[in-house]
Amino acid sequence: MKQARVKRGPGPISLLTQATYRKKALPHLLKDFEKRCAYCLDPDEFRHPSQNHVEHFNCKLHGRKRHQYKNLMLGCATCNCCKHDKPVVNPYDENQRLLNCTDETEFPDHIQESSDGQWHALTDAGVYHLASIGLQERCHQAKRAERRRMAQRVYSLLTQAVHYQTYNPATLHEQVMGMIRDTLSLLDKFPPLVTDKGVMSVREWLVSQGIDPKLIASTANP
């Protein structure tokens, strides 16, 4: 059984209609998707609330099925506009389809991220998904690349911080930790990292690289 990247809750109790689906579903989607776009993973920190779109995964459905909560996704304005009304399955190739993160995980089963922040498809489904939503465009790649560079820099600083704590005055150690704390606070607002183990925050990635979890915990802002 495939494991979903996003665990979807039950959603609104009342019936969703053309007139009410956005107002009723949006609070539930923001919670289920942790305020991140279902497709590019961008958090809502850097967009106006009106740019949190309630997107229909299968836009070809009609009637009640179209607005059922299980067919609704949280999307940023960019991804929603790019995806538009594209079919879930490519009518010319049944192996090419959109990936629903509430039914399966895109990363790393179908899509991997290279060191330059670019996403690369590993399957036919991944090819269609990336192309249909424009997820390889420069606007996305540049953001992911900068996030990855910053994460690597924090890793280097944390390694130095341990060294400074051992061999240098406490003041110097605290200066380094302060810089790390500020950087991680900013990175918390960036899209998560895509790794060969799936999607994870920069803090989780640092722990996976061998950084002491207690050291990571000490960087949390009060």
* Partners of 97 in beta bridges: 89
Q: Would the pLDDT of 119 be above 80? A: yes
Both tokens assigned to 134: 């424009």
Query: Are residues 16 and 24 in contact, defined by beta-carbon separation less than 8 angstroms?
Result: yes
Lowest mean pLDDT across 42-46, 93-97, 119-123:
42-46
Q: Return the percentage of the chain with pLDDT > 70, whole number.
A: 92
Cβ neighbours of residue 92 under 8 Å, at least 6 residues apart? none
The domain ranges of the chain are: 21-136, 139-217
Compare 139 and 219 and report the one with higher pLDDT: 139
What's the CA gap between 196 and 112, in Å, rounded? 7
Given this model, what pLDDT does residue 165 score? 59
Tell me which amino acid residue 104 is.
E
Which pTM was predicted? 0.83
Nearest-angstrom CA–CA distance, 21 and 72: 9
Task: Dump pLDDT digits (tens) for 147-174.
Answer: 998 898 888 878 876 666 566 667 667 7
Flag the least confident range among 41-50, 90-99, 174-183: 174-183
- Give me the amino acid identity at 29: L
pLDDT > 80? residue 50? yes
- Of 192, 211, 215, 196, which Cα lies nearest the Cα of 40? 192
pLDDT tens by residue, 58-75: 999 999 999 999 999 999
What's the CA gap between 40 and 190, in Å, rounded?
11
pLDDT of residue 67: 97
> Which residues 6+ apart lie within 8 Å of 26 measured at CB?
52, 54, 74
**pLDDT band per the 50, 70, 90 thresholds, residue 80:** very high
| Cα 30 to Cα 34: distance, rounded to the nearest angstrom | 6
pLDDT at 1 over 60: no
DSSP classification of residue 10: -
For 84-117, the pLDDT digits (tens) are 999 999 999 999 999 999 999 999 999 999 999 9
- Nearest to residue 186, comparing CAs of 214, 156, 153? 153
The average confidence (pLDDT) of the chain is 91
Bridge partners, 72 (sequence order): 56
> What b/e string do you get for 111-127 counting C-beta neighbours within 10 Å, with b at 16 or more?
bbbeeebbbebebebbb
Between 188 and 27, the more confident residue is 27
